[in-house]
Each structure stands twice: as C-alpha cells, then as structure tokens.
Structure 1
Amino acid sequence: MSAVLHPAIARVTARIAERSRTTRDDYLARMSAARDAGPYRYRLSCSNQAHGFAASGQDKAALRRGRGGNLGIVTAYNDMLSAHQPMEHYPSLIRMAARNAGGSAQVAGGVPAMCDGITQGRAGMELSLFSRDVIAMATAVSLSHDCYDAALMLGVCDKIVPGLLIGALGFGHLPVVFVPAGPMPSGIPNPEKAKVRQRFALGEAGRDELMDAEAASYHAPGTCTFYGTANSNQMLMEVMGLHLPGTAFVPPGTPLRDALTVAAAEQALRITALGDDCRPLAHTIDEKAIVNALVGLAATGGSTNHTLHLVAVARAAGILIDWNDFDELSRATPLLARVYPNGPADVNHFEAAGGMGFIITQLLDAGLLHEDIACVHGGNLRQQARQPFLDGTRLDWRDPPAQSRNTGIVRPASAPFDAEGGLRVLHGNLGRAVVKVSAVAPQYRQHEAPAKIFASQEALLAAFKAGALGGDFTAVVRGQGPRANGMPELHKLTPTLAALQDRGQRVALVTDGRMSGASGKVLAAIHVTPEAADGGALAKLRDGDLIRIDAEAGTMDVMLDQAQWQAREAQPLDLAGNQSGMGRELFGLMRNRVGPAERGACALFADDA
C-alpha cells in the first residue's frame, strides 16, 4: 500500500504542474502527433530504407520486411573515459538480444563524452558544460533518421546523461531505456586520497606521491566511485524509472551486468507502440518523475550540477522548475546517505549497505516519492527498488533489504543523518546561489568575513602559494559564469581551501562558477546568478567588503549600506583569455546565447520564459 504523500511533495508537484501547464500541454501534443503517425520506417521510400539497412548483415531481411521492433542505440562510448570504456561491446550484445527477441538494433549515432576529471583546471573545462547541449543535439541527429521504435541510451557521466535525456525528450514519442556500465572497484579510501591532495597543496607531498594516490583511486574500467555528478546521474535514472531496477551500481565486466544489458534491449522491444504496453519517454518523464529526481538528489546529498541539469531536462519535457522547488523539497527531505564527499564511503560501499533499493523504499514509505510513475520496466517505483541477481544464468530480482547493512552509510528515514536534505538555495543582495550543505559541518554553515576578489582559480592558487591568504576571508572568484567562460568547475580550489580551514582559518567561497559533485567540506556559494558578466552583483564587490553567508537561513549578502551598494558601479571583467584556444572559439555562439544558471545554463532554451 502506498504511503500518504508528504504535504510538501504534493504542494511542490501541484505548483510545478500549474506553472508548466501551457508548455507541458504543448510538448505532449507534439509527442502525441509523432506517436500517432506510427513507426516511421514503414513510411520511408525504398531508397530511404535501402540506405538504412544496407550494412545490417543478418538483420537486413527483418529490416527490409519491417517486422519486429527496431532499436536505435545512441552511444557515448570512448575508451578514454573509464566509465564508458566497458560499453565498447554493448552494441553487439544488444543486437544479439534484439535478434533473439524477434527485433533488431542499430547504432543510431555517437555523442561526445568528455571527462571533467581530466580537464579540471585546464582550458578544456570551459567546454564542459556546453558539451551537454552538444550531446543533446547529437542525440537528436542520431534519432532523426526516423527508423526506430525505441531507443537505448548508453552513457554514464557528468554532462552525458543529462544531454542524452534532453535530446531523447525531443523524440519523447519513443520508449527510451538508459543503459549504464557500473562503478570501478574501490581504490584507496577517499579520506586518504583527500589528505594527500591537501598535503600536496601545502607543499608537504611531492608529485610522485600525489600521482600514486590518484592512480590508486582511478584505476580500472568503470565509473569513478565517489558520489559526484556521474553517480548522481545513476541515482536519478533509478528514481525517475529510466533504468531496469537496480541497474545503477552493478560492476562492469560481470555476468550480471551483461544480463542487465540484454534485459534492457528485450524490455525496450516490449514497450514500443507495436505492442500493447507502450511507455513513451514523454509519459515516463512527467512532473512526478521530476519531483522524484529533486527528492532523490536531496536525500542522497547529490551533485550540485543537477541544479542546472534537472532544470534543463525538465524544460525539454515542457516542465518548468526553479531553485525554490529544490530548496523546499530539500528542506522536507531527510538526508539518508553519506557517500564521499559527504562521508568516507564510496558507491560500492553504498550499494553493499543497501543502495538505491533501500533509499527508494525508505522514501516511498515516508511519502516522499511518487510511486505511480511509468517506469520503463513496466511496473511502478516500488518495483524499481528491487535488486537484480543471477539465479544460475537466469536474471531475477529480489526485494531490497528492510534494514540498513551499515548505518554509517545509509539510514532509515526515521533516523536520518540530518532532518533536511543536502542542498540549500541562498538569496540576498549578491543574487541567488546554491550551496551543498551535506558535506559542510554545522559549525561552518554560517560565515562572515571580508572578501578577497579573484578573476580565476589560478589567481587564488597563486595568492596561496605567495602566502597572501592569511586570516579569515571570503574568496570571491567571479567571471566564471556561463556567459563569461562557459561556467567551468573550480574543483582545484577544494584541497587548498580545505587545508586553510583545517589550520584554523574561517574560509568560504562565493562564485558564479561551478564546484561539481565533488563539492567538499568548505562552505561554497556557487552558481551565483545573475553572473558577473551578465550584470550580476559580484562585479560590484571590492576587496575587503564584508560578506555574510548563512546556509541555514538561506541568505548571502554584502554588509554595506543599501544606498552605497546601489550606487556602486561594476568593475569590468577581462575575458579576453577565455575566448579562443582548445576549441573555445567554436563555442562563442553558446556563450552569447546561454541562459542564466537558474534556468539551466542552457543555450537550447535560452529564449523561453
């Protein structure tokens, strides 16, 4: 029996539905018209069809006759990303599974997949956020041949899953199943890795020691094991019902992972319009699924990047959400998980402790998730909580554990780590921002200290090396928003600021840039909007201005007389060094068109209200 829905969940869901009525109705009407037109390949000309199956080998006859469902595979495979390297052989496995089920499958196209872990602190990071929109467009190009009855999305990491989903929603008349690869084995403990990084920042560890630690952490095929954006993506696919149940954190290269990939292909064929249980993506991703995503993010202390990505994903489905929705739901949702950087455990430990099955069940029983969403597996969200296993060679599912196997990693809703979730929204005369409080100890959630202004993270690190960061201060790194330079992550600041905090200084960060899913233990007000390059207040700040942040109250202000503050003029930003090199000149159209952070920092929907 379903639990009574929590009043905040019901209230926010209703508010989103009302706010989105016009855009959602328009989206559904477009998807309905596309679905009513029927499978496209049956209406293609002979020349169109011949092009489409010319290289299909043993599937050519089936495609020519038009019998059985045809799956379009959109893959983000490359062998530079550890998370995506296991997907090299997925298309062969999927084609075989589809053929055995009476259908067929074709790789519809590939999308770019870059690694933020490699581009951190480099010029290439300024392409990272915009790669999400490129991936969405590449997904649309892949599916534009109109030859498919359903689609499988092969992707895991940061911008890749949101980009695949945004692009796929343009083809929301089709069923879409996401197929992940799973995490790499656990490496060195995360606290040990963090300590080496801090010691290196302080000059107490050499490059060889740092390289040894990093290589022992990121060491095998599979997703990085900390709970950053990539693994937050996998959590979201579970609570929105886009995975087969329990798929997220099954390791790559195992019989169970292969069985789940085969089962995803088989299930995609079952839910096409050719059968009588069609589950188009447009109806899987509705207001309830989006609210589930916001709750899951809060309950697990997930990546702050999703305060951008989920806004853009929802908009692609005609659903309008904003940061107030994140904030209200986070305040109503208990924090049920502590996974690095919110604790010492990694996602393998999280899975062993009960994983998503335990978390989903706890949230459902507390009335904090919508159970009645159209999951791709054919059931509801409670069935999504089941955990897969192999009975010999047969794939099956069992109920999730009723109790946490490790209360230091996951806890029941009746005894959470915190009564509220991992995210807060800040507002004040500096604008609006996001802060991830799940990793920040309560004694550091209020901060008041003078500003030190920097034009880049490199400038801050140079000041640290020069010994110029003494005393308490608020680091303001501005000119890092989407219009300025593509909104890069500033993760290189984490070890330095953490080291200063550990030696007794009161420090915090305020920036219109990002800090990623790896936001750490230092209070960081990020995604400040309006950004400095778009008339935002950060451009008016001066060294020594007193800044007050209260993450509990949700405020962020410069402590100046109102008249004095309003009269102050913005300082010009020098962005000349961010316009070219490493491909940045090709992304000028996106920097010029992109919308603000609270609207998803998206160039695809920048003109929408």
Structure 2
Amino acid sequence: MHPRILEVTERLIARSRPTRERYLQLIRGAASDGPMRAKLQCANFAHGVAGCAPQDKQNLRLMDSANVAIVSAYNDMLSAHQPYEHFPEQIKQALREVGSVGQFAGGVPAMCDGVTQGEPGMELALASREVIAMATAVALSHNMFDATLCLGICDKIVPGLMMGALRFGHLPTMFVPGGPMPSGISNKEKADVRQRYAEGKASREELLESEMKSYHSPGTCTFYGTANTNQLLMEVMGLHLPGASFVNPYTPLRDALTAYAAQQVTRMTKASGNFMPLGEIVDEKALVNSIVALHATGGSTNHTLHMPAIAQAAGIQLTWQDMADLSEVVPTLSHVYPNGRADINHFQAAGGMAFLIRELLDGGLLHEDVNTVAGHGLRRYTQEPFLEEGKLVWRDGPTASLDESILRPLARPFSPEGGLRVMQGNLGLGVMKVSAVAPEHQVVEAPARVFHDQQALADAFKAGELERDFVAVMRFQGPRSNGMPELHKMTPFLGVLQDRGFKVALVTDGRMSGASGKIPAAIHVCPEAFDGGPLARVRDGDIIRVDGHTGTLLVRVDETELAARPLAQAPTGNDLGCGRELFGFMRHAMSSAQHGASAFTASLEALK
C-alpha cells in the first residue's frame, strides 16, 4: 500500500473511533437473530403482508424466506431513472425463484438537476438529499425486512439513499444501477453550441436540437457528472455487483444483473449464514477507496459535500484535508467529459471499472481487504459481467486500456495527481476541480466583480461590461443562504470570455457540480457569505488571486481593512415560490460545506 493511503486511513480510523464504535454498537444491537417481522404483533404483521400475493404471504409466515425492501427513486422525469419503472417486478420475480419476497417499501423524491438548472427549483436540490434520506428511513421503519435494494442513480439521490440506509446499517443492502443512455452527439459539440448561443451566434432552435440529440433516451446522461460519479463510487465501495455500473438499460445483460442483485442480497442475510450488513461494508477503508477513485477519475466536486455527509451517517469523520492529502498522490487515469472529449460509454469500452480498479489495486492505491456485496476483497471487481448462453458469468477484465486517450495505466497517467484541489486563504476554504481546467488557466489574479445571482452576470455579459480580466464573485449561494444551487447558467458566458483571451475565474460559496468545466472555479467556499464569511466583505475592484497550482485563494486587501468593512446583506424576497418556503427550516439547520452541507450534522454529532 502507498504510505499516504495508509497514513490517511489510519488517522481517519483514529479520529472516528468514538463515533464509529457508537455507530457499530447501534447497528449490531438492531440486528436480530432472525427476521424482524417474527417479533411483530399479529395485527402488525397482518398489515404488513395484506397486499402480498398468496404465495408471498405464505413465504413470509414461514420466516425462512428473506423479505427484501425495495426503495426506489423512480420517476420518468429523470431519464436515468425511467428504467426503474420495470425493476420492482423484475426483482420480485427473481426473489420468488429463490423462495424469497420483495416488497416495494417506499419511493423517494428524485429531481432532475438538468431540468432545474438556473431555475428556482434548483434551490431545493441539495435539500432534497436530506428529504431522500428521511424518506428512506420511513420506508425501512416497518421492521418487516431482512435486506434492502436501493434503486437510485443521480445527483443527490444516491447520497440521500446512502445516508438513510446507513441508519439501518444492520440490513444487508445493495445499490442497483440502471445504466447510461447510449451515446448521442459528442459533449464537446453540445458545449460548442451552448457557447455559440451565449454569443448570439446560434439560434434557440439550433440549441434545442443539439440538446435533444445529447439527452435523447432512457438512461443516465453520458458525461462524467455527479450521476456517473455516484455509480463509479458505489462500485468501488463494493455496493454494486462487479462491472454493473455502466451497462446500458433495456439490454439482456442489464436485466440479468438486476435479477442477480435481487438474489445476491438474500445471500447476505443472517439466515444465509453469510451475514454482511451495509454498516460493515461502509467503513474507513471503503471511504478512502471512494476518494481515491474520485481523484483518479476527476469526479464530481459535489462529492466533497456528499462523501463527508455519507461518512458522518456511518459514524466516520471524513474531512476535506483527508481528501486533499489523497489527491496529492493519486494520479489522474481517465479523461471523460468535462475532463476530456469521451463519454462514459467510451470509458466502459476502453476498459471501464475492471481496468481502473486493477490499476489502482496493483499500484497500492486501493485497500483490497474490504467487504463487498460480492464477498470479501476488492479484487473481485477486476472482473466484468457477460452472458454465456443466457447465464450471467464474470470474466477477468482487460489488462490494457483499449484507448489511452480515455483511460490510462498507472505508468502513464494524464496527471501525477488527482482531479480536486482544496483552496484556502483569507477568503476561506473551498475546492477546485483542476482536472477539467487547462494548466495555463489555473492561475488568475484580477479585479473582483461581485454578483448576487446568475442573471446579473448574464446581464453584465450581454451589456459588454465583462470584456476584461476579472474574478467573478458569486456570493450568498451557500447552503444556509439559498440552499446552495448549482450555478451552471453562467458557465457559457465565462467560457466565451476565456476563449476571447481574458483571464477569468469564479469564486463562490455555491456549487458547480460534476459538470464543472474549463473555467477555474473556487467553489463551496466557507464560511459562506450568509454566515459573515470573508466573501461578504469583498468589493468590486478588489484584487483576488485564484491559484489552482498551489491551492491559494485570497483577496489582496489589508487584513485590518478587510475586517473593518461592513458585511454585505443577503438578498431578500427570493425564498418564496416553487416550494422554497417549505425548506426554510432545513436551510437554517445546514452545516457548512466542509461538513457536508447537511441538516443532520448536529443530530449525528449527538451520537459521540
């Protein structure tokens, strides 16, 4: 093992020992010697099985069958989740074949960030993660279940399902992916049309045609954003079947993997003799593995929020410094848009997860001795699934990349370090996705131009006010201010200005997410402006340095003068409409970005 990986793991274990031990006590105490439903009163049990088919009722009465909770984020607003419409029946049938039962325990909300980008609904996105966690807990609260299958893919959905399921960490749990849509037009072509539209060089009809050729069918969007990062991390953490993440929907292999997952989770129950609950899989080593894979692939910056929040739900105290220290020694092995031109289907064809995991294992960058849903040891995940005469089998994955412009061996990385940088200085603490930014653009020192919303920046661009070097400061976008929406509406405008030769950067207490592109952006800055962070004292014209090489984020203003400046006031009147008023209590409870921007932090801290 690489000494840095061991060092970070050991200090994470030491730091987390009190909360982790308390968490393990809780889940081990919740695990019973047999099915929980056996302890229910007769009336309670009768309610729980009243809607079941006669044979399922009989199986549940015998207590030697597994009852599997299906928790699904299905809706057909999300292309990635549309295939889940058919999964519950597939799962139930596969379970009946092994004498077990599946019950649809509950649905959780699932909003599409692609639909809500730049709209008021985006201000609900991060809060929806907490709602999903709570909805998952409600679904599992019936004490009828021996195991759980979580059906979720996209941005806040997988983290929310994880956070909720971890509070029922005594249950064996698997995540069941749906797979990416087939490739449409290239992501670069899509981005080019967006920029031309921002400049007024493409019509709205051209823009719409381009977007619909890119997002064109059921399945996950094919760029390497938060959704596909979720899938990659779930597999590296051993919560998917090996090789399951990026198999296209509505294919025989996809269906076979879904059925196998249903049956596999029954093999992890107490009755099977191979008990492996979720809380024993998600440990410090699994979390370190997830961060290594995040860096090696230039994954979504949203996971600097999600992984600390997930860790906290498992009693583990993961920090941005842990993530930064790992980034220094983990090389970048893949280039998938926005880090490159390829999409996730091309990544899969070039060698995919099996090749990536083998390289990282052989290089001593991943812990091999971990629990997974496929058994003990991560080496199993260097295999790929195939159908042989209709039967699902696994074979050893490729030992060489089929396209080194997409996926490279450890000996020839794209970069010697990972894709994320922790930024710090007198403006606070933030992160930057350096893997998507060309080296010559990673350092910008220029006057600040302060904005309080994306439309103001768009208006300034259209008025010709931004034809110069500048650092856009987009403040009051943090979790406690307006829910921390993603800020992609201004990306095309900043991209145009950079292409015109200007030095531009972004500094914000908001999010840019997995689609963070070629503009240097110091995001998730905390303390946020709403809480009196330094961003609230920045003025137009202040010189700001954003240095992605060294991780420096500062304003060149005398410290005494900066401290003496009055705090800018947050905009008012923007928290009504589109349901935003219902989430005020949650915004006020949110922790800082570095602690996961979670409403649950305080309550989980009480477990120490």
Q: Which amino acid aligns with 1:426?
A: M
Partner of 1:508: 505
CA offset at residue 462 of structure 1?
Answer: 0.9
Residue matched to 1:237: 234
Distance between the aligned counterparts of 2:42 and 2:495, measured in 1?
64
What CA distance in whole angstroms lies between the structure 1 residues aligned with 2:368 and 2:532? 43
Q: 1:606 deviation in Å?
A: 3.4
Shift of 1:385: 2.2
Tell whether 2:126 aligns with 1:129: yes
Instruction: Tell me which of 392, 400, 403 is aligned to 2:400.
Output: 403
Distance 1:272 1:64 in 2: 17
In structure 2, the residue corresponding to 1:108 is in which secondary structure? Answer: strand
How far is 1:38 from its partner?
Answer: 3.8
In structure 1, the partner of 2:71 is: 74
1:325 and 1:247 map into 2 onto residues whose CA distance is 28
Partner secondary structure for residue 567 of structure 2? coil
TM-score under structure 1 normalisation?
0.98
1:247 and 2:247 aligned: no
Please state if 1:595 is matched with 2:591.
Answer: yes
* Structure 2 residue 472 is the aligned partner of structure 1 residue 475: yes
Report the equivalent of 2:427: 430
Of the three residues 197, 201, 212, the one matched with 1:200 is 197
Match of 1:418 among 393, 399, 415: 415
Matched to 1:259, the amino acid is A
**Alignment partner of 2:377 out of 368, 376, 380:** 380
Q: Deviations over 1:527-553 (max 9, x none)?
A: 000000011110000000000111111
- Supply the distance in 1 between the matched residues of 2:42 and 2:560 (Cα, whole angstroms): 72
Measured after TM superposition, the shift of residue 6 of structure 1 is: 0.4
Return the match for 1:177 from 174, 178, 184. 174
Given the alignment of the two structures, is residue 488 of structure 1 paired with residue 485 of structure 2, yes or no? yes
The answer to which of 490-499 and 214-223 deviates more is 490-499
Amino acid at match of 2:6: A
Counterpart for residue 214 of structure 2:
217
Equivalents in 2 of 1:359, 1:167: separation in Å?
Answer: 29
How many angstroms apart in 2 are the aligned matches of 1:297 and 1:96? 35
- Structure 1 residue matching 2:544: 3-state secondary structure: strand
How far apart are 1:379 and its partner, in Å? 3.5
Partner of 1:32: 28
Q: Deviations over 1:282-319 (max 9, x none)?
A: 11000000000110100000000000000100000000
Checking the alignment, whether the CA contact within 8 Å between 1:126 and 1:487 is kept in structure 2 is yes
Deviations 1:419-449 (A, max 9, x none): 0000000110000000000000001111100
TM-superposition CA deviations, 1:346-395 (whole Å, max 9, x none): 00000000011111100001100001110001141110221100001000
Residue 565 of structure 1 pairs with residue 538 of structure 2: no
Equivalent residue in structure 2 for 1:11, among 2, 7, 12: 7
Listed one character per residue, the Cα deviations across residues 548-570 of structure 1 (whole Å, up to 9, x for unaligned) are 11111111000112222222221
Displacement, 1:576? 2.1
Aligned-partner SS, 2:270? coil
Pick closer, same or farther for the CA change 1:575–1:399 going to 2, 3 Å: farther
Aligned residue-pair number: 604
Residue 601 of structure 2 is aligned with which of 586, 602, 605?
A: 605
Structure 1 position 93, deviation (Å)? 0.7
Does the aligned pair in 1 maintain the 2:312–2:604 contact within 8 Å? no
Structure 2: distance between partners of 1:83 and 1:10: 36
Deviation at 1:400, TM superposition (A): 1.1
The CA deviation at 1:45 is 0.9
Query: What is the distance in 2 between the residues matched to 1:426 and 1:207?
Result: 37
Q: Contact 2:475/2:529 (CA < 8 Å) preserved in 1?
A: yes
Name the SS of the counterpart of 2:601 in structure 1. Answer: coil
Alpha-carbon contact 2:33-2:270 (below 8 Å) kept:
no
Does the 8 Å contact 1:189/1:344 carry over to 2?
yes
SS state of the match for residue 447, structure 1?
A: strand
1:358 pairs with 2:355: yes
Amino acid at match of 2:166: L
Residue of structure 1 in register with 2:318 after alignment? 321
Does 1:44 find its partner at 2:37? no
Q: 2:451, 2:474 within 8 Å by CA — same for their partners in 1?
A: yes
For the residue of structure 1 that corresponds to 2:422, the secondary structure is strand
Amino acid at match of 1:500: L
Query: Aligned to 1:397, what secondary structure does the other structure show?
Result: strand
Map Cα deviations across residues 221-251 of structure 1 (whole Å, 9 max, x no partner): 0000000000000000111000000000000
Q: Which amino acid aligns with 2:296?
A: A
8 Å contact from structure 1 (residues 49, 64) kept in 2: no
Which structure 1 segments of 5+ residues have no match? Answer: none
Deviation at 1:607, TM superposition (A): 5.2
Deviation at 1:608, TM superposition (A): 5.4
Return 5+ residue gaps in structure 2 as ranges: none
- 2:149 corresponds to which of 149, 152, 161: 152
Contact 1:53–1:64 (Cα < 8 Å) also in 2: no
Residue 94 of structure 1 corresponds to 91
Query: Hey, what's the Cα distance between the residues in 1 that align with 2:368 and 2:485?
Result: 36
Displacement of 1:575 after TM fit? 3.1
Match of 1:296, as an amino acid? A
The aligned counterpart of 1:451 is 448
Letter in 2 for 1:64: R
Which residue does the alignment assign to 1:342?
A: 339
CA distance in 2, matches of 1:431, 1:39: 50
Query: Using the alignment, how far apart are the partners of 1:506 and 1:575 within structure 2?
Result: 32
- 1:271 lines up with 2:283 in the alignment: no
Residue identity matched to 1:495: P
**TM-score scaled to structure 2, two decimals?**
0.98
User: 1:37 deviation in Å?
Assistant: 5.6
1:22 maps to: 18
Counterpart CA distance in 2 for 1:307 and 1:567 is: 32
Pairwise CA distance, 1:60: 1.4
Report the secondary structure of 1:525's partner residue. strand
Aligned AA (2:484):
M
Could you say what secondary structure the match of 1:517 adopts?
Answer: coil
Residue 587 of structure 1: how far off its partner (Å): 0.1
Partner of 2:547: 550
Mapped contact 1:375–1:384 kept (Cα < 8 A): no
What is the alpha-carbon root mean square deviation over aligned residues?
0.9
Identity within the alignment, %: 60
Q: CA deviation at 1:492?
A: 1.2
The superposition leaves residues 499-553 of structure 1 with CA deviations (integer Å, 9 ceiling, x where unpaired) of 1100111000000000010000000000000000011110000000000111111
> Does the C-alpha gap of structure 1 residues 560 and 607 become closer, same or farther in structure 2, counting only changes over 3 Å?
farther
